[in-house]
Every structure is written in structure tokens, then in C-alpha cells.
Amino acid sequence: MLDITDQQLSLEPLVNAVKRSSSGAVATFLGVVREQTRGRQVRYLEYDAYREMAILKMRGITDEIRGKWRVDEIAMVHRVGRLQIGEASVAIAVSAPHRREALAACAYAIDRLKEMVPIWKKEVWTDGEEWVGPGRCEHH
Amino acid sequence: MLDITDQQLSLEPLVNAVKRSSSGAVATFLGVVREQTRGRQVRYLEYDAYREMAILKMRGITDEIRGKWRVDEIAMVHRVGRLQIGEASVAIAVSAPHRREALAACAYAIDRLKEMVPIWKKEVWTDGEEWVGPGRCEHH
Amino acid sequence: MVEYMIKVRVRCFAAIREIVGVSELFVELPEGSTLMQLIHLLHGQFPQLQALTGSVLFSVNREYASPDTRLAGGDEVAFIPPVSGGADA
Amino acid sequence: MVEYMIKVRVRCFAAIREIVGVSELFVELPEGSTLMQLIHLLHGQFPQLQALTGSVLFSVNREYASPDTRLAGGDEVAFIPPVSGGADA
């Protein structure tokens, strides 16, 4: 399950999509819109994606993961459009027979997604707005 | 939210319990009953817990985590009773301003839980049963 | 000389509960007894407890405790065989 | 001598879309043009694109591509300014 959606994200469908009878562990990651970025008060975020390429790149990440760890299944869904504080921008779930593989692969997936998947974020503050690249984030 | 329960586990309540307006990331872990352990076919598992001490030890783990990483909130719920294949035995959620802390703390939480929280598992196979300690697991 | 007795509560879980047959029992011991003395007493009463494999730990009042811990009346004691909570993984 | 022209599709996202004003445009180029030549052409037409900070990458047919890539008719090209998907963290 690799998708870009304008609908609210929820973990349960991803967890159900990745669970196999061989799975002993499911690790998930949820990216959430924070109230503050770099000291500025966020009103909302707007995400835009190059959808077709983003899904290709997500598939590339799942291939990388399968080359590194023994996992059962990987799901990644990124939301686009306007997101309020507290809403999830990305949801990832990885199942594996054993917990270390599931946890390591999940952490790897979000790192790689942030590096190379063509999705962009505009921060809209109380006093302005800007499309944000990672170079300007305190924590990438 | 630290609990031992005989009810089915679901991630959503834990995620909602840990999310703060300062949270940019929520990492979760779900332990799931596998079909096979050490080559034997599992019929079901039965978990038993020393409930009061388990919750104390879980609280100890959350203290350890707060000493190591900047996290917002930690939730850990372990199920007891009879579990079928595919059902979750443990659910953990950790929120943090940044993803690395949430992911690292979540991985640490499940490792420590397995090490020191007084919860036990009986494997009931098609041809026998046994209370299992970690020393006899292929992957602890 | 009068020997004062104390009563402790022993809680039994998992394999221990199956050996002992109940989920808790109350044991009387001479005042000043250590956890080790209680363990020996229970080993005498339930010989199968001695056959438990792996490193069995013990708790007193819900904290891991060493066998030389001195017990007091009302203490809650438990055998903690190797734990296996969490994932099946 | 006849110069054959090719037509490529340029897809615009995020900051690029706001500068260009549309989500895609079609550009005609002489056959044999490279991605670099297309970029220069667009820089001329939309000078604000030159002001983009950070390292802008480019894609051809949904794969990252280097500026010396030779374009063919029907290719899909995009500017990829620094990405920032995932968590707000």
C-alpha cells in the first residue's frame, strides 16, 4: 500500500494491510503537524506532491528495505492539501517476523522518504508563509 | 497510559493519548502473535501478568526514556489472556517533537519491556504447551 | 523464648501458579526471616519449583529483591521466572 | 535546413507552480535539446525560478535526471526543489 491522498490518515488500515501470519511485529510512524516550527506559530500546513513520481520513489524505498532487512510488508501513505495542527502528514507501517527488523525498516523508511520523495510543504504562519525545503529546517 | 488489559488492543487510542500540540512524530510498536515459533505450529498463546508490578516497571521504563530522550508522552498497554494468531499482545506509542527521539524511544521501550516487565507467555501448540522464557527463544 | 511469626503473601503467576495450584498463598515465617528462607520453605512444599529452568528472580513488594532481603509482616512476594512479555518476536 | 521541434510536458509543483502560475505547461524545443537547455529557456521566461534557494533537482519521466540528459518528444519534466515531505520533525 503506497499512496498519496487528500484524506485524513489513520494507522489502522495500514496495520491491517501489512500484517501477515508470519508477522510478529508491526512498527509504525506517524508524522504530525506541530504547533511551532522554528519559533513561529503555525496556522496550518499545505502539502503538495508530484504524485506519480512520489509513488515510484516510495516503491524504490520498499525495494531498498527488502534488500536490507527481512520484512513482511511495507505501507506508506502521505497526505496532501491543507493540514491543521495535530493532523498526520505521513503514516508508515512495516511488519516483520521480528521486532528489530520492523523497527529499523520503519525508521529507515521515514528518513528516505524525507530525503527523496517529491513532496513539499508550505508553512502558513500567523504572519506569513513559505515553501520549506529541508535545508532550512533545524531538524531534518 | 500504562495498562494491562484482557481486551483487544488497538493503536488509535494510544496515539490519541500521546499526541501533544508540540508533537511532530508518533512512533508505535505492535507485537503480534505469529503462526510459527521455532518451527512449531501455534494454536494460541496465553499471557499472564503480575499486573501491579508490571505497571510499576512500565513506569520505570518511561522514566528511563525521559532521562535519555526529549519525548512528549509514552503509552504502553499489554494484553493478557488467550490470544489468537494475528492478535496484538503489546502496543506502545511514543510522541516527541522530532522523529528520531520518538523512534529511538519506541524501540527502547519494547526492548526493556521484554527484559524486565513481569509478563509471561504460554505457547499452546498443536502438540503440547509450555511457559516460555526468553532464554529459549531464538530471537529475544 | 517466644518466637514471633510474620505472615507474608506469595503471589503466583504463569508456570508458578500451575505448580502451586493457586494464584496466591499466605505463608507464616519466624520474624527476621529472609527471602531465601521463604524460598526454601516453598521449595520443600512444592518440589517442582526447584525444577524451573532459567534464572528465576524474586520480588518483594513489587520490586526485584535479592535473596538476603529480610521480610516483614504483610510483605508481598513473588517468584519471577524469566519474563516473555511483549512481541512474539 | 529544417529544424525539427519536439514538445515536452513540464509539471509544476509547490513553489514552482506558484511562480509559473499553472500546474503544467508544454514547451517546444529543437530536437536534440538537453534538459539544461529547457531549464535556461524556462529561466528566461520565469526569472523568479532563478531565485529559488536550495539545490533544485530535475526529473525526466519521473526519475531524477542530470542536466545533460537529452530530451525526446513527449518527455515529462519537473523541477524538484528541496523536498520536505514526511513529518514536521
Residue A36 confidence (pLDDT) above 80: no
Report pLDDT for A138: 37
Sheet holding B73-79, edge to edge: A2-5, A73-79, A88-96, A25-32, B25-32, B88-96, B73-79, B2-5
Q: How is chain C split into domains, by residue range? A: 5-80
Q: Which one of A28, A40, A71, A140 would you mutate to disrupt binding with B, by most B Cβ within 10 Å of its Cβ?
A: A28
Report pLDDT for A89: 96
CA nearest B96 in D: which residue? D89
Q: What is this structure's pTM?
A: 0.91
Handedness of CA B30, B35, B40, B44 (dihedral sign): positive
Residue D31 confidence (pLDDT) above 80: yes
Report pLDDT for B133: 62
Of the CATH numbers 3.30.460.10, 3.10.20.30, 3.20.20.70, 3.30.1330.10, which one belongs to the domain with range D5-80?
3.10.20.30
Domain with B89 in it: what CATH number? 3.90.1170.40
Whether B49 is in a domain gets the answer: yes
Residue B74 confidence (pLDDT) above 90: yes
Whether B140 is in a domain gets the answer: no
Report pLDDT for D10: 97
Helix (H, G, I), strand (E, B) or coil at D75: coil
Helix (H, G, I), strand (E, B) or coil at C43: helix
Whether A28 is in a domain gets the answer: yes
Output phi, psi for D30, to 5 deg.
-65, 140
Pairing of strands D24-30, D5-11: antiparallel
Query: Alpha carbon of C23 to those of A91, A123, C12, C60: distances in Å?
Result: 43, 58, 5, 16
Cβ-based contacts of B19 with chain A (< 8 Å): 32, 86
Q: Compare CB distances from B133 to C54, C64, C87 and report the shortest one's residue.
A: C54
CA nearest B4 in C: which residue? C85
Whether A137 is in a domain gets the answer: no
Report pLDDT for B53: 96
Cβ-based contacts of A36 with chain B (< 8 Å): 22
Report pLDDT for C87: 60
